[in-house]
Amino acid sequence: MGKREEVRQRTFAEILEAAGRMAEAEGWRAVTIRRIAAEIGYSAPVIYQHFPNKEAVLRTLLERVNGELAQRMRAAVADEPASRGPHLAAVAYLEFARSRPGLYQLMSGAPGTDVDASTRRAAADDVIAFTRQLIGAWAAETSAEPTSVEDACDLLWGTLHGLACIGSIEDIGFDRALRLADQAVTALLGYWSSPTASPEGRPQTAEGEK
pLDDT digits (tens, 9 = 90+) for 174-202: 999 999 999 999 999 999 987 655 444 44
Q: What is the pLDDT of residues 84-112, one digit of tens each?
A: 999 999 999 999 999 999 999 999 888 87
- pTM of the model as a whole: 0.85
Q: Which residue stretches of the chain have pLDDT < 50?
A: 198-210
DSSP code string of the chain: --HHHHHHHHHHHHHHHHHHHHHHHH-GGG--HHHHHHHHT--HHHHHTT-SSHHHHHHHHHHHHHHHHHHHHHHHHTTS-GGGHHHHHHHHHHHHHHH-HHHHHHHHT-TT----HHHHHHHTHHHHHHHHHHHHHHHHHHT---SBHHHHHHHHHHHHHHHHHHHTSTTTHHHHHHHHHHHHHHHHHHHHHSGGG-TTSSPBPPTT--
